[in-house]
Amino acid sequence: QKEVEQNSGPLSVPEGAIASLNCTYSDRGSQSFFWYRQYSGKSPELIMSIYSNGDKEDGRFTAQLNKASQYVSLLIRDSQPSDSATYLCAVLTSGGSYIPTFGRGTSLIVHP
């Protein structure tokens, strides 16, 4: 069974700090990795995607991928209260259908 694991949290950080969200996956053949943000009562929206080992930066967000360790992370610099949400990790596993497997999400709280 192909699994995507996230710590459910909540992860609480002060405003201005770096929030670090982690995700591990079981399928070594996984190709693509995504981070979705979901505000309470709203639908998920894509904030980052990463396909190759290393870091990918977009504004205050950095996605990090380590395929050897089967680990993907999302760093949020200068965290703001508006970043408070649940962050879902999604992984496109091997098999050809290109349907993502979602983790259960990590709740992030940024307090002033």
Partner 1 sequence: DADVTQTPRNRITKTGKRIMLECSQTKGHDRMYWYRQDPGLGLRLIYYSFDVKDINKGEISDGYSVSRQAQAKFSLSLESAIPNQTALYFCATSVGLARQETQYFGPGTRLLVL
Interface residues toward partner 1, by CB under 8 A: 8, 31-32, 34, 36, 41-46, 49, 51, 88, 90, 92, 98-100, 102-105
CB nearer to partner 1: give 17 or 32.
Answer: 32
CB of 14 to partner 1, least distance (A): 26
Which H or E element spans position 12? strand 11-14
CA distance 27 to 53: 15
CB nearer to partner 1: give 61 or 102.
Answer: 102
Burial class (CB in 10 A: 0-12, 13-18, 19+), 97: exposed
How many Å separate Cα 26 from the centre of its chain?
A: 15
CB of 17 to partner 1, least distance (A): 26
CA dihedral 72, 90, 55, 106 (to 10 degrees): -60
DSSP state of 80: -
CB nearer to partner 1: give 4 or 14.
Answer: 4
CB of 20 to partner 1, least distance (A): 20
CB nearer to partner 1: give 71 or 102.
Answer: 102
CB of 97 to partner 1, least distance (A): 8
